[in-house]
């Protein structure tokens, strides 16, 4: 029997979006921490941070990898293009889809990532 999807709180939605915006920086930070841990043999204060970063990177990567190319394009334009030069109409035109469809895709992608992270 299918389960009813819980609605994400606004705070959780924004938090997941923040993780998406800074995904590449998070991957870089994770590499740097791991390199530091490897050189110092166990920097214990970083263990929880590393675990958190790994979970976030894995969740975003796995959701992104499963997306069709049009949705990947939306993610790239919306979250990973800096400076952001498009409003919703412009983003939708770049994909190309309707503004409303772009917003629905965004919501679905963010919810999928939140589900992978267990952030409900």
pLDDT value, residue 57: 97
pLDDT value, residue 4: 45
87 touches 102 (CB < 8 A): no
In the numeric block, the tokens 């293009």 are attached to 81
Number of C-beta neighbours around residue 11 at 10 A: 9
pLDDT value, residue 49: 83
List the one residue out of 5, 8, 9, 51 whose CA is nearest residue 30: 51
- Domain-wise residue ranges, the chain: 10-117
pLDDT value, residue 2: 38
16 touches 114 (CB < 8 A): yes
Show the low-confidence residues of the chain (pLDDT under 50). 1-4, 38
d(CA 52, CA 56): 6
């Amino acid at each position: 029997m299918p389960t009813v999807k819980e609605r994400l709180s606004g705070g959780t939605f924004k938090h997941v979006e923040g993780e998406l915006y800074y995904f590449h920086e998070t991957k870089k930070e994770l590499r740097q921490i791991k390199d530091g841990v490897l050189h110092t043999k166990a920097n214990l204060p970083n263990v929880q941070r590393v675990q958190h970063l790994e979970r976030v990177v894995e969740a975003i990567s796995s959701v992104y990898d499963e997306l069709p190319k049009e949705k990947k394009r939306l993610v790239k334009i919306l979250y990973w293009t800096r400076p952001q030069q498009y409003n919703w109409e412009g983003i939708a035109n770049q994909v190309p889809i309707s503004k409303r469809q772009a917003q629905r895709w965004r919501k679905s992608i963010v919810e999928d990532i939140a589900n992978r992270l267990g952030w409900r």
